[in-house]
Structure 1
Amino acid sequence: MPSGSLILTIDQGTTSTRAIVFDESACPIGSAQQELRQIFPQSGWVEHDPVEIAEAAIGVARLALEDANATAADVAAMGITNQRETTVIWERATGRPLANAIVWQDHRTAEICNGLSDAGLADDIWSRTGLIVDPYFSATKMRWMLDHLPIPNLQARAEIGDVRLGTVDSWLIDQLTRGSSNTPQDDVPHLTDVTNASRTMLLNIHDLTWDPELLEIFNIPEAALPTPLPSAGTFAVTHPSICGRAIPITGVAGDQHAALYGQACFARGDMKCTYGTGAFLLANNGANLDLFTGAAGSGQLTADDLDEANAGLLFTLGWQAGGSKIYALEASIFNTGSTMQWLRDGLGIIANAEESSDIAVLLGDNDGVYLVPAFSGLGSPHWDPHARASITGMSRGTTKDHVIRAALESTAYQVKEVVDIMDSQLRMPRRGNRRERVLRVDGGQTRNPFLMQFQADLLDRPIEVSAVDETTALGATFLAGRAAGIWRSDRELAMLWQCDRRYEPEMSESERIRLMSGWNEALRRTKTGFRE
């Protein structure tokens, strides 16, 4: 077994797979990345090839070690973080995938979700999982696979555990521990961590076990599902063929949960936002189910709690480590970075996302132009899969620069909506001026100065950009290192976190109100303009 002090972390995302080697000071010393192909078989369908995911993960892990001038003998542990909700189905014995993975962005199960809501099951599902019934989550993807894949006796095979269902972390653990052997194996572990499990819509968020009633509602056999484990702890050991020597896997978390941990958001009320393909906000809600009145210790949320939850936030697990579990509030915004990709690839009006900041600054004002990027519906707080993107407020004087600025601003407006709701729901006591509250941010769009300043202005609070770009990988590294004994406490980890840039709010309250009023009107038109 390895005796070194390095952590090798795999970060499997929607558009690429990365591996980073961190030292005992949590500094990255080697990395590698490979782009991931997305497959679009039909309108609204998004898939990945699971074999490509596994091969890329193994390949970048080896290259990252090489880049760090290290070997597996120098590595104390491996961390894994991954795109959540994306669902894989494969054979237990051979490890062979039976279909492409259905990605979190996929909307093919919208009718299944409509049926659940029409049957009056949405509130019960929410009370058990903290999740809103939506194609985003894994359970309906699993049900679709079992119903529609042209494989004989698929449901029966799942019921005896001959077929495995899981999220990307489970698939990677399987492939990393199985190795390259083509010989059927019956002892390959089928595992997940509780954060990934909490995104399936099958895990009871109160006791962190697969919920029998939810399994019955979706008709998902428990025998096909992985065993949920704490985010920090010993999961399995990689096959020696992967990196030349076995490495213990000791930290696993879904990407946004890992980012919350990597941003050292260890106190209740601490909040982070990751700006990637979408924007994902999580706020630490502490160790108890006490978000809504009467919910603490109840094991089941009340009807009044459910009414209050209509604010459109998700209630999820932050992480489980060191014997404790931390809950979180979450908002999932579907289109932020992808909106800038659309400007580049779809409209061809920017060469790269970086130039958009200078264009927006030079323009000076949005001139009443708003872009609502509902390319795949609207996520938090609206949860409207039928909404479609729109641009409003245009005149003969509107130029492509107005559209570029409107696209950037749309990210900040969407984040502002959900941060305000989180502040209200968390009911944090005031500590003097509200500006003492800080939003920690990470992801590609944090390199856009205009967006970060505009975000601080809209929120009326400082924005802190992490010094480590790969905060998601850092969080999985922290978890793996905690379990491996490299770091002993969250306090020790908090001392390792560093701020690269800080943006202070400068906008007047009247200007903030004016801009948000325009955004709300654009939203109203988007949500009503496409209804029959």
Structure 2
Amino acid sequence: MHQAVLAIDQGTTNSKAALITADGAILGTGSHPVRISHPRPGWVEQDAEDVWQSTLNAITTCLHTTAPGGAGGGGVEIVGIALSTQRESVVGWDRSGRPVGPVLGWQDVRTSSWCAQLPAAVDELVRRRTGLRVDAMFSAPKMRWLLDRSDAYVGTVDSWLIHRLTGRREHLTEAGNASRTLLYDLTTLDWSAELLDAFGVPRSALAEVRPSDAGFGSTKDVPGLPDGIPIVAVLADSHAAMYGQGCTRTGMVKATYGTGSSVMTPVAEFVPSGCTLAWQTDRPVYALEGNIVSSGAALAWTADLLGLPDVGALMELAATVAAAEGVVLVPAFAGLGAPHWDREARAALTGMSSSTTRAHLARAAVDAVAHQICDITDTIPGGLSTLRADGGATISDLLMQTQADLLGRPVQAADVPEISALGAAELAWSTLGATTGWSKTRTYRRFEPHLTPEARTDRRAGWSAAVTTTRTA
């Protein structure tokens, strides 16, 4: 009989599940997509019941494919659950646990004009208390939008899944997820009465905040799972990736390549600029972070534009040319995130000529992902020596080599592309008393930069010029 933690990684486009032993072995996995809708320009919605059902489907697949023996065949004892979840997206539900509206995705910008009308003093308060800035990406404006339409509980996706996993008994959230709402004071580690008032969110609508390893109830009435399995640890997905990458010291930098991207580096203490709470165990661990709105999404958009079946085919096409030959794609489909934070910016495709081919466009999309990462790493105090990369897109050697070339620094791509589940599971096993340390022994594919400094400077300058056009149009 194998003991395992069931790690659930609920992301923007997929829900994943994995059974992971105390030594980091993966006994089985499952994945199921989550639908995304765009009812209006800039609106990004999901269905809360679909998020829940996709999670159940991923768990079911994982349990039925587990080796050896299969979970249903007596081969595995699930000793705990670890959650890793998309962060700023918001769910609302009534007292009976029924969703009261759509899930407002973290990419959703319907509240941008409302945010722009807030007094400057609110933005200053947000920065001093949360380390963030007022922006439609974060949760508080989305919560206000849902509360304007219903008297409901509101929460991030971790709180929604905890609510359903516990048979609608618990309304809890994890501190790192709470830190992404604009409502959680990182100086006191509690909801801020001033910020709640500024955004018009009643405390009674919010979940109780707990440290990442504090325990979040136990399963009840979950199809396919026995009652009583403890939810041991919860992390936000980007934070779980940093934990799984072993980035625990200042100067270590990780980048997660998902629908968007998150670049994070730990810091010794809270600073009121670009800061987030990565996790809280015996003490809070803070990180500087920059968020990119469209990275994997830009690859998917370009693949669709070119009539390709998937991003894999886009990468194959991009690899047929040595460079984009001056073509630049700036994927500001919902504005620009860090470090520009310009929601009025619009996407641009520049530098084309009569000799431009589909392959050059594909290569420009790959470059765009890497350039956006560079924009953030350029702002990190002291720079970086090596970038640790994770996420689905890191399977592409072309993207990773492009990233190393444009950074002028080595890139280490994790041996497991989807590392968030492993990070959450490692925290769970540590909480359960096991000796872990998988992140310290992880293997990587290493990519060294090949571009000359002059070529790198030219390509970065071309990107910067194109970004400027998106902000002045």
Q: Same fold (TM over 0.5)?
A: yes
Are the structure 2 counterparts of residues 238 and 269 from structure 1 closer, same or farther at C-alpha, using a change threshold of 3 Å?
same
Higher normalized helix content (fraction of residues): 1
**Residue of structure 2 in register with 1:328 after alignment:** 287
How far the C-alpha of 1:350 sits from its partner, in A, is 3.0
CA deviations on 1:120-170 (whole Å, 9 max, x unpaired) are 3212211111111110011001111112x2x4xx2xxxxxxxx31100100
- The letter for the 1-side match of 2:25 is C
**Residue of structure 2 in register with 1:100 after alignment:** 102
Aligned equivalents of 1:126, 1:381: Cα separation in 2: 15
Aligned residues: 467
Maintained 8 Å contact 1:258/1:476: yes
How far the C-alpha of 1:407 sits from its partner, in A, is 1.0
Q: 1:74 aligns with which of 50, 59, 77?
A: 77
Maintained 8 Å contact 2:392/2:418: no
2:81 aligns to what SS in structure 1? strand
**Residue of structure 2 in register with 1:516 after alignment:** 460
State which structure, 1 or 2, has the greater radius of gyration over its C-alpha atoms. 1
Maintained 8 Å contact 1:5/1:486: no
Maintained 8 Å contact 1:19/1:61: yes
How far the C-alpha of 1:413 sits from its partner, in A, is 0.8
Q: Structure 2: which 5+ runs fail to align? A: none
Aligned equivalents of 1:141, 1:337: Cα separation in 2: 23
**Residue of structure 1 in register with 2:61 after alignment:** 63
Q: 2:192 aligns with which of 187, 211, 216?
A: 211
**Residue of structure 1 in register with 2:306 after alignment:** 348
Aligned equivalents of 1:281, 1:208: Cα separation in 2: 23
Maintained 8 Å contact 2:213/2:234: yes
CA deviations on 1:450-492 (whole Å, 9 max, x unpaired) are 211111111121111111222011111111111111236xxx3
**Residue of structure 2 in register with 1:23 after alignment:** 21
Maintained 8 Å contact 1:34/1:60: yes
Aligned equivalents of 1:398, 1:59: Cα separation in 2: 43
1:5 aligns to what SS in structure 2? strand
Maintained 8 Å contact 1:195/1:254: yes
The reply on whether 1:364 has 2:322 as its aligned counterpart is yes
The reply on whether 1:483 has 2:465 as its aligned counterpart is no
Are the structure 2 counterparts of residues 208 and 493 from structure 1 closer, same or farther at C-alpha, using a change threshold of 3 Å?
farther
- The letter for the 1-side match of 2:145 is W
The reply on whether 1:407 has 2:351 as its aligned counterpart is no
**Residue of structure 1 in register with 2:116 after alignment:** 114
Using the size of structure 1 for normalisation, the TM-score is 0.84
The reply on whether 1:228 has 2:192 as its aligned counterpart is no
Matches within 5 A, 1:60-459: 60-68=58-66, 69-71=70-72, 74-92=77-95, 94-116=96-118, 118-147=119-148, 149=149, 151=150, 154=151, 163-178=152-167, 188-239=169-220, 241-242=222-223, 243-286=225-268, 288-289=269-270, 291=271, 309=273, 314-321=274-281, 323-345=282-304, 347-422=305-380, 424=381, 427=382, 437-459=385-407
Which deviates the most, 327-336 or 358-367? 358-367
Aligned equivalents of 1:133, 1:219: Cα separation in 2: 14
Q: Which runs of 4+ in 1 moved over 4 A?
A: none
1:272 aligns to what SS in structure 2? strand
- The letter for the 1-side match of 2:301 is W
Aligned equivalents of 2:446, 2:128: Cα separation in 1: 38
Percent identity of equivalent pairs = 39
Maintained 8 Å contact 2:267/2:286: yes
What is the RMSD of the two structures over their aligned residues, measured on CA atoms?
1.8
Aligned equivalents of 2:184, 2:404: Cα separation in 1: 36
Maintained 8 Å contact 1:25/1:496: no
Aligned equivalents of 2:9, 2:460: Cα separation in 1: 35
